[in-house]
Structure 1
Amino acid sequence: MATQAHCAYAFECLVASFERRQPLGLAQVEELWEQYHASSAEGAEDDGEEDEEDEDMSEGDAEEQMTARPAAVARLLNKNSATSSSSSLPSTKSTASSTPSTGSGVSTPATSRSSLFSGGRSRDKREEHPLFITWNTVSEIGHKSLRGCIGTFEAQELEYGLRSYALTSAFEDTRFSPIAASELPTLSNHVTLLTNFSQPTKDPMDWILGKHGLRISFSHQGRRYGSTYLPDVAKEQGWTKEETIVSLMRKAGWNGSSSSWQRTWRDGRGEIVRYEGKQVGLHYPEWREWRDWVDKAGARSKTLN
């Protein structure tokens, strides 16, 4: 299941691309994210108990307490630091968008390679998941607007997949202009790891609203069409199951009337694959607060040439 640390890593990769530096590695982000929230919880407990403690603590003693934990974090960041090359972004045939639009395919031009810090928590087994990365802008009154959403149904090594699609969805979703650095304060990021894929079925209603994501395919006038929606899309849009299928068909490129979709589905040998995935999100201010904490702890990222 996706975590907020995965979202924090997506933000780390996006911001690092603007700052021309190497991002922290996924394992480092996960461990630092955990330590940050643990220290925040400890701080809240300490605040509740401070009235009961001796108030004669010297300024030097207070400063020592404040700097002890960041020093430990700095040692974590510097421990076993190394660089490793990443491969280029995924090929176009494994890439898809999963939000309402007039088209289903997204091209992915080659992107320059970057290096990442390794270190942090070691992993005996690399996780692999199909995944989608979604970027939204959020207005001051909380209105959310899609800014990019691209993913893949091919299982990806988690760090590689998160890094690649964080950048692909930010810069290569052809429905939108590339995200600019000036938009960062308004951004939110959502990660969905896909699981529990079903066998194809011809029944377009054989799924549960709000639980299943859908990947459809059908033929029309000698051409095969396909598109997908993540599990949360239909519920967010307030669609019925029929409205969702019609919207998916239109997203794939079909332009028939709503009253004829069932005949098109039947004659076009329509198939549907269900899948699941819980979307997890994070807003830029939350990431920025964490990253400032990391920076104060002494983290340093190399600048790219």
Structure 2
Amino acid sequence: MATAEHCLYCFETLSAYLESRKSMSLGEIEKSYGEYCKEAEARVAPSDKTESLEKRIPALQRVADSDLAEASTSSLPSSGSSMSLTTDTAATSTESLAAITESPLFVTWNTVSSRTGNTSLRGCIGTFEAQELGEGLSSYAVTAAVHDTRFDPISKRELPSLEVAVTLLTDFEDCGDAMDWEVGTHGLRISFAERGRRYGATYLPDVAAEQGWTKEETLVSLMRKAGWAGRRDKWQAVDLKVVRYQGRKKSMLYSEYKQWREWADQKGEDSEEDEDEDEA
């Protein structure tokens, strides 16, 4: 499933892009974040370790919560996704999630209101073609932030207000009919043709549940998203091809990324000072 490290990597990639600097690699972040968690844990007494860790590292609580929830519904409307041009479906199995190194994926950026805590979609793009995670997350983190044509590009000043969500897609299955899927469990990818024109669109697994839609409302909305302008009560006359899939999602706020990044910067400075002392 998607991890806190994947979210950190998306923030790191976007921050580096907007600041015109070199980004840390996914491998470097995974190593650093492991040390970050261990160092925080080592400073906490065993009796209150769990509670204190959750306070010290908010991402750890989000990891635990997400593991329990799996890919169930989220309270934040975050996944009005856009499809990339590469859309060959990959049959990723949940059996390999523990050591997953590549996957179809989507990166979603949301703006979080500092006053109300409400979120609004700021960009979401992904692909159904399996990506090596180091390359795919980096590429789509930037693409979703600055090339989603529904929105203006995200600017550097917006970073503190952002939340990122990474969804790794799994379990692709052709639906027996348009209703052969479950709200809150499945994402949908539809395709159809009408009057010589081909249409296609997708919603990630949490969209229908977040919006409180029925199956029919979800399908009609998805057809509208694809560009279909037919009468709502005639949607069933369209020959829809529907593929259902599941997603393993992780979310993170910029404040959590900033907390880890400041720690990593300080560790880097301490290491440089130690090296200078050794040379002296």
* TM-score, normalisation: structure 1: 0.70
2:268 aligns with: 298
Secondary structure in 2 aligned to 1:194? strand
Give CA-to-partner distance per residue, 1:14-65, whole Å, 9 cap, x none: 111122111111011112112212222222328969xxxxxxxxxxxxxxxx
Task: Give the one of 221, 226, 232 matched to 2:200.
Answer: 226
2:6 aligns with: 6
Pair 1:281-2:257 in alignment: no
Q: State the alpha-carbon separation in 2 of the partners of residues 44 and 138 from structure 1.
A: 31
Pair 1:252-2:226 in alignment: yes
Contact 2:84 2:126 in 1 (8 A): no
Between 1:278-287 and 1:31-40, the stretch displaced more is: 31-40
Inter-CA distance 106–299: structure 2 relative to 1 (3 Å threshold)? farther
Q: CA deviation at 1:202?
A: 5.2
Q: State the alpha-carbon separation in 1 of the partners of residues 31 and 199 from structure 2.
A: 42
2:117 aligns with: 142
Q: Which amino acid in structure 1 is aligned with residue 103 of structure 2?
A: H
Q: CA deviation at 1:189?
A: 0.3
Secondary structure in 1 aligned to 2:268? coil
Within a 5 Å distance, the mapping from 1:35-50 to structure 2 comes to 35-45=35-45
Q: Which amino acid in structure 2 is aligned with residue 282 of structure 1?
A: M
1:65 aligns with: none
Pair 1:30-2:30 in alignment: yes
Q: Which runs of 4+ in 1 moved over 4 A?
A: 46-49, 104-108
Q: Which amino acid in structure 1 is aligned with residue 154 of structure 2?
A: I
Contact 2:103 2:168 in 1 (8 A): yes
Q: State the alpha-carbon separation in 2 of the partners of residues 220 and 126 from structure 1.
A: 39
Contact 1:133 1:169 in 2 (8 A): yes
| Number of aligned residue pairs | 228
Contact 2:84 2:127 in 1 (8 A): no
Cα RMSD of the aligned pairs, angstroms, is 2.2
Pair 1:171-2:168 in alignment: no
Secondary structure in 1 aligned to 2:247? coil
Contact 1:107 1:174 in 2 (8 A): no
Within a 5 Å distance, the mapping from 1:74-223 to structure 2 comes to 99=80, 127-140=101-114, 141-198=116-173, 200-201=174-175, 203-223=177-197
Between 1:23-32 and 1:167-176, the stretch displaced more is: 23-32
1:236 aligns with: 210
Task: List alignment gaps of at least 5 residues for structure 2.
Answer: 50-78, 87-98, 271-280
Give CA-to-partner distance per residue, 1:80-125, whole Å, 9 cap, x none: xxxxxxxxxxxxxxxxxx617xxx66689xxxxxxxxxxxxxxxx9
1:262 aligns with: 236
Contact 1:106 1:172 in 2 (8 A): no
Give CA-to-partner distance per residue, 1:274-295, whole Å, 9 cap, x none: 1111211000000000000000
Inter-CA distance 105–162: structure 2 relative to 1 (3 Å threshold)? closer
Q: State the alpha-carbon separation in 1 of the partners of residues 185 and 47 from structure 2.
A: 41
Task: List alignment gaps of at least 5 residues for structure 1.
Answer: 50-97, 109-124, 301-305
Secondary structure in 2 aligned to 1:254? coil
* TM-score, normalisation: structure 2: 0.77
Q: Percent identity?
A: 54
Secondary structure in 1 aligned to 2:172? coil
Q: CA deviation at 1:238?
A: 1.0
